Amino acid sequence: MYKQMSLVVLLMSFSTLAFSEEYIVEQKGKVFSVKQLSIKVGDTVSFPNNDPFYHNVFSYSGTKKFDLGSYKKGDTRKVTFNKPGVIEVECAIHPKMHMTINVE
């Protein structure tokens, strides 16, 4: 029974990874390139910094908490979203920067 359950979990994990997508949300001019983004469970969002100064992308949302730390122009940080829900994303350095990610 345990072997069958393990196989089912493995196949479910593989199918999620096989169909996952990567989205890009740029940071330029002290704003995110989109205000809202709809993605699916298992998808990844890349946050490239295209500004000449540091950004720090984070979320305290219950669905997905993360803090990408401060990073400079030309660097990119990524986050994979594994649960459905609404995630409010902000920049710790520039408080007017915010966006919403809807994970379905």
Residue ranges at the known binding site for Cu cation: 55, 91, 94, 99
Residues 6+ apart with CB under 8 A from 42: 16, 17, 19, 20, 80, 81, 82
Known binding residues: 55, 91, 94, 99
